[in-house]
Amino acid sequence: MRSTLLGIVAQRLLRTLCPHCLESDQVSEANWKQLIRPMKLKLPAQVNKAVGCLECRNTGYLGRVGIYEMMRVTPKLKNMIRTDVTHHELFEAAVREGMVPLNVSGALKVAAGKTTPDEVMRVVSLS
């Protein structure tokens, strides 16, 4: 199998904030670091939070946006794909090879004001 595998894609859908009622908010540095690990991204000056209105049926969200994680199987990763490599070792190597994890993809949506840190944490397993 490893001779034919080109890449692996994971995707999730995040709820997007309702543009009619969203409000500015702050995210703590500790929560931001948890959200973006194992990478380092600058803490945004502000993020948005869900409020709720008639347009979104008081949920604070209206619509969805995809986040993606694509692991290209590089020669280094191809050599690692075997039965005795752990998920953690393969994940770390993939990040070093340029993969952007789902949580970081979600954090970029938070920084762009499209969703909330809580929504990313709800959808993406940060174990």
| Cβ atoms of residues 16 and 64 within 8 Å | yes
Give how many domains the chain has, as a whole number.
1
For residue 97, being part of any structural domain is answered with yes
- C-alpha closest to that of 124 among 8, 7, 10, 9: 10
Distance CA 76, CA 60 (A): 44
User: pTM for this structure?
Assistant: 0.86
Q: What is the DSSP letter of 50?
A: -
Distance CA 17, CA 51 (A): 9
Average pLDDT of the segment spanning 2-20: 91
Q: What is the residue range of 57's domain?
A: 7-117
For residue 26, being part of any structural domain is answered with yes
Summarised one tens digit per residue, pLDDT across range 70-91 is: 999 999 998 888 778 898 999 9
Share of the chain above pLDDT 70, in %: 96
* 102: CATH: 3.40.50.300
What residue type is assigned to position 115 of the chain? T
| Cβ atoms of residues 24 and 59 within 8 Å | no
